[in-house]
Every structure is written in structure tokens, then in C-alpha cells.
Amino acid sequence: MKEFVKYKNRHIVFFLFLMIPFLQLGFSYYLSVSFLAFLLVIIKSGISIRYSSTLLLMLFLGSFFFIFKSVSLLTYATDLRNILIPCREMICYIGILLISNFIGTKVLINEKQLFNVCFILLLIIFLLVLIQYFFIIRGIYIGIPLKYFVFNKDTIEGLIHAMTFGIIVRPTSFYGEPSYTGWICLSILCIILNNPKVSIERKIVSILLAISIVLLSLTMAGILGIFVFCIIWYLISQNKNLNPLVILATLIVGILIIYFVLTTKNSIGVRLVSILNNEDVSSNIRLNLPANYYEEMLRNGQLFGVSNYGELQIDNAAWGLVLQYGILSICIVLMISAYYKHTLLILYIFISLNFNGAFFRFDKAIITGLVCGFVVYYTKNQNKLRTKKGISPFNTKRAVLSPLN
């Protein structure tokens, strides 16, 4: 009985990790791995967790913003699809809260074993990206067949088409977009770095592995996101007792790396220069095109977002949120940030908004709920440990009391 209690609901966790490589696959949007996995885990979460007053308030207020958006679209001559998108995203918002609550309060798992699962997944992604890299430079695409992708199908098709003209493309691992690979690596890294049972040596190896993946994939969102996340994690883990010489050395090394990247003919430098010169197609679609939509939205006085979101070409989660919900997007993000009350978790959510695809999507709801849930899980266990030792969690900067407790 003790062993059963110790590893309660771990099969749900392993099931979700097993689904991560296949989240973008399926036959249609609702007949896909991500939707079916989301449906199973949200039902399990919904019937298992305890609904605190804080959670109920978050569910009510968040749902109100999404429903308000849908109702407001009824006054426009717009397609039914545009009206229903906020309802679908509301379900994903609810899913993030329920899944994170379930992981944070109803799962008991060996934290060292959890690290092994995360590290193995990271290692598999690295090996696949490495294999793809060497085959791609020889004009051969190695990966999951195009016909099985539900998300980023056009991107994969474009990559394969580009290779026929001798254009070197970027590895994507299991997914249809290098940026998505970067986001998955960031998510796994967030779980690992917040795990108190993992040694600093293993965390550094995990960081190096994740950095290698995003460098091989040439995903600027992944490189920047993981770099920023790791720097902030280091500052917090050192409890702000940093040696000024270490900070100065880090800045000097950072400046030298940036100078080297920009002044030498390497893949990262070439892509970065093309982005700065507005010559990168991917960057233009994710940043410049949505900026034009935003200016038009302001000119039309659409404070609560555009009325034709489903018809726009948006490939950036942050821009998508702003264009869809206008000033409501600020309320939604602030609510989520205030709910979890964890610096690294809030940072993870903000960095995630810089990646491709809508933020409130079934596949992203699974991963975000998983990450948020485990950070809460670690925090809860650390607070219990401090309480047993007679240390109040209120008297330490390291402990963070989550509303899930």
C-alpha cells in the first residue's frame, strides 16, 4: 500500500510524456493525438481535484473573458469559426488550470525518476535533430511522414520542397517547425531545473543538451528563450549572492559571442543578420505581419481584438493573443501570472508566448499544464520539508506558496 501511495497517478504522467513526441500528429484537428490526450487528461483532472475558492474564481473570471469575446463577435458580420475560436481557447485555458492542479496535488512520483524521463526525452530529441542535420546537408529529409501532421503541415511541406532546390533547411525533430522543437526543449528544461532532487551537474548537462538542440535547429526563439531562462534560473538559484567578477565575465563573454556570431559566416550569424535586415521570411511572418494587423486594429478602434482572427496569418503566440483579445489579453496573462506566483513559471509562460502557434491550443495546454503542475509539485514538497524542519516557508525567499495548496 505504501508503494502504491508513493507513486500515485504516475501512469498519467508517463502517458503524457509518451505523447509529447506525437502531439502534432493526427488525421484532423479533433482526430489528433493532442486533442484525444487533452480530452483524457482533462476529464481525469476534472473529477480528481479539489476545487478551491481561488481555482473557482480563476475558472470563472477567465471563462468570462473568453465568452465576452465570443459574444462581442456576434455584432460583427463574421464567420461562425471566428466566434467559436474563443470558446475553444477557453477550454484550453481551463485545461491548463485543471491539469496543473491535478499534477500539483494528486500526483506522487519519484522526482529522480521524473528527471530520468525528462532527460531521456531530451536526449532522444537531440539525437534525432543531429541525424536530421547530417542528412539534410546531403539533401535528404528524415522524419515523420508529412501526411500524419495536423499542425505545421505547410511548414514541413515547404522544407521538403526547398531541399529539392538545394536550399539547406533546419532540423525539426518530431515536429513540423524548429521553433516548436525549441519550445518543447524549454518546457522540459523548466521541469528539470526546478527539480530539487537533481544535482547541479545533471542540470548543466541538460542545459547543454537543450542548447545544442536549438543551435542545430537554428531556432532564434529557442536560442533566446533558453538563454534568458537559464540566466534568470541561475540568478534565482544563487539567491542573488553573486560575485561581481562572475557577472562582468559573463557580460564580456556574451558580448564576444554576439560579436563572433555577427561578424563570421556561420548559420546562426547569417540568419540573425537576415532577421535584423528584415530579409528573413519566418521573422517577417511572426513579427512584422502581425504588427501591421495590430496597427489596423488600433485604427479601427477594436479594443477587444479583431473580428476576423481565423482569417489572419499569425505565427506568434503573443501577437495572436493580443490580436484576438485586445486589452483582454493583458487581463488573461496577468491572471495566470498572479495565480501561480512563481518567478520561473511566470518567466516560462512569457517566453512561451514568443514561440509559434496560438498559446491556447490543445497540445500547448497539455505541456503548459504539465510544466506548471510539476513546478507547483516541487514547491509544495519543498514547503512541506521546510515545515517538518521547523522553517516557516514565509521566512525564506526560496519557498513560494502556490494557490494550489
- Looking up cell 481551463, which residue turns up? 94
Longest distance between any two alpha carbons in the chain, whole Å = 67
Share of the chain above pLDDT 90, in %: 30
- How many helices and strands, by DSSP H and E, does the chain display? 18, 0
Instruction: Name the band, by pLDDT with cuts 50, 70 and 90, for residue 176.
Output: confident
- Comparing CA positions, the residue from 108, 190, 125 lying closest to residue 371 is 190
Instruction: Say yes or no to pLDDT of 21 above 80.
Output: yes
Condensed to tens digits (0 to 9), the pLDDT of residues 374-384 reads: 988 887 766 66
Q: What is the pLDDT of residue 118?
A: 93
Q: Which three cell numbers stand for residue 38?
A: 487533452
The mean pLDDT value for 254-268 works out to 53
The mean pLDDT value for 156-172 works out to 59
Q: What is the pLDDT of residue 186?
A: 95
Instruction: Name the band, by pLDDT with cuts 50, 70 and 90, for residue 284.
Output: low
Q: Which has more pLDDT, 265 or 304?
A: 304
Instruction: Say yes or no to pLDDT of 215 above 80.
Output: yes
Condensed to tens digits (0 to 9), the pLDDT of residues 73-112 reads: 888 767 888 888 999 999 999 999 999 999 988 887 888 8
Q: What is the pLDDT of residue 179?
A: 87
Condensed to tens digits (0 to 9), the pLDDT of residues 31-41 reads: 999 999 999 99
Q: Which of 130-139, 173-182, 289-298 has the highest mean pLDDT?
A: 173-182
The mean pLDDT value for 347-356 works out to 90
Instruction: Say yes or no to pLDDT of 159 above 70.
Output: no
Q: Which of 8-17, 96-105, 220-229 has the highest mean pLDDT?
A: 96-105
Instruction: List the chain domain ranges.
Output: 2-243+313-395
Q: Which has more pLDDT, 310 or 337?
A: 337
Residue 353 backbone dihedrals phi, psi, to 5 degrees:
-70, -15
Indicate the average pLDDT of the chain: 79
Rounded to whole angstroms, how far apart are CA atoms 22 and 28? 14
The mean pLDDT value for 165-171 works out to 61
Instruction: Name the band, by pLDDT with cuts 50, 70 and 90, for residue 67.
Output: very high
- Comparing CA positions, the residue from 119, 116, 111, 118 lying closest to residue 205 is 119
Rounded to whole angstroms, how far apart are CA atoms 108 and 13? 10
Q: Indicate the DSSP class of residue 395.
A: G
- Indicate the residue type of 103: I
Q: Which of 72-81, 258-267, 335-344 has the highest mean pLDDT?
A: 335-344
- Comparing CA positions, the residue from 281, 174, 256 lying closest to residue 217 is 174
- Looking up cell 564580456, which residue turns up? 252
